[in-house]
Amino acid sequence: MSRKRSRCIGILTAGGDCPGLNAAIRGVAKAALHHGVKVIGILDGFRGLVENRTVQLDEKMVSGILTLGGTLLGTSRDKPHKMDMGGKVMDMTGVAVANAERLQLDCLVCLGGNGTQKNALHLHKTGGLDVLTLPKTIDNDVVGTDISFGYDTALGIATEAIDRLHTTATSHHRIIVCEVMGHSAGWLALGAGIAGGADVILIPEIPYDLRAVADYLMERRHHGKRFSIVAVAEGAKSAEELRQAEREKGKKKLRKNPEGRHIVLQNGLRVVQEPMASRIAREIQQLTGIEARVTSLGHVQRGGGPSATDRLLCTRLGTKAGELIARDKYNVMVAVRGDDCVPVPLDDVAGATKTVPPDHPWIASARLVETCLGNQWP
């Protein structure tokens, strides 16, 4: 069905919270309002759409939110086709689409990461709902875009944390392991590790060998460098772990919980193992004899207001979304390509993850400044 012009859109934020969400909401809303489009805010992600919880966004509502962290709309990780409804997981796609039609939405704008891209595409393909998305994640792992909003802010936070760890590591001649977010992609750990001058950086894309790491750290000590910083992405795995995973594949004896710790099923009981970064610190201390400590940045990386770079990026992405809506250009993600913001088909985005290529220039730079990446010496 063709339309001359969009008259009403919905906007929601889904997945984890992230610096820049409010700035992006503001950008989309202001641009849409400029083109005469009514804007409805959907509360708490896709669950709010299913439960029909909304608020109208006008100039007053989005004024003054550019610098604020979090999201004024709230968020959740609920999927429209797999939603917990009173203890029972149900497919609520039909309800979500019916509510969108009841609200007379021409388009649903979804701000989120990889999961949100998939959920938005599902609503379009299964329910016929026109959608438009913006890439949000501190992991920077959404494909099709040079960068996702939230990454720059988190990169600054993680870098500052590593900077601060240098002083205590130097004072006590310790090894400090700093765990950074990044389940499947190492962009944040790699970027913060390089910017913060970490001596070792462990990322999911490069399986590590702790004995090689320990040898490297001992070599540093022999050359008079009496402290070291190890930046590790939460999804980093050793070569041995990967081999073990292959052996255990299909046996369902090992899986991960939301905190990134392992749950081992033994005789029907669940045994929660120590966090990965803690284990790495303990084993490094055993291998080197050097005192090691661990710091996990956790949700600190996702908190607070957005950086100036992210504020600018969110405004550019949001206003581009408003332009596309005014032209009835739907079912795309607004991506950053060089100096431009461009529409990318959701089919090319959903279900994929942007990981760090082994030949990426950052990898080469890290090795040239004598950073150990876990698998070999620089």
Q: What is the pLDDT along the chain (378 residues), one digit of tens a residue?
A: 344 556 999 999 999 999 999 999 999 999 999 999 999 999 999 999 999 999 999 999 999 999 999 999 999 999 999 999 999 999 999 999 999 999 999 999 999 999 999 999 999 999 999 999 999 999 999 999 999 999 999 999 999 999 999 988 888 888 999 999 999 999 999 999 999 999 999 999 999 999 999 999 999 999 988 889 999 999 999 988 888 887 777 665 444 554 445 555 556 666 666 788 899 999 999 999 999 999 999 999 999 999 999 999 999 999 999 999 999 999 999 999 999 999 999 999 999 999 999 999 999 999 999 999 998 766
CATH number at residue 296: 3.40.50.460
One domain for residues 97 and 243: no
Q: What is the DSSP letter of 352?
A: -
Instruction: Quote the strand ranges of the chain, DSSP E.
Output: 8-13, 38-42, 54-57, 83-85, 88-90, 107-112, 131-135, 175-180, 200-202, 228-233, 254-256, 262-266, 269-272, 292-296, 332-337, 340-345
Cα distance between residue 145 and residue 325, in whole Å: 19
Rounded to the nearest 5 percent, the helix, strand and coil shares of the chain are: 40, 20, 40
Choice among 139, 141, 152, 199 that is catalytic? 139
Q: Looking at the structure, tell me whether residues 115 and 37 fall in a common domain.
A: yes
* Backbone torsions φ then ψ of 123, nearest 5 degrees: -65, -35
Same domain, 293 and 363: yes
Same domain, yes or no: 137 and 187: no
Our count of domains for the chain comes to 2
Give the pLDDT score at 2. 44
Kindly state whether residues 242 and 143 are assigned to the same domain.
no
- 18 and 103 assigned to the same domain: yes
Pair 131, 179 in one domain = no
- Quick one: 12 and 116 in the same domain? yes
- Structural domain including 224 reads 153-302+358-368
Q: What is the pLDDT of residue 207?
A: 95
Q: What is the spatial distance between Cα 14 and Cα 27, in angstroms, rounded to a whole number?
A: 17
Which CATH number characterizes residue 110's domain? Answer: 3.40.50.450
Model pTM? 0.90
**Residue 58 bears catalytic tag:** no
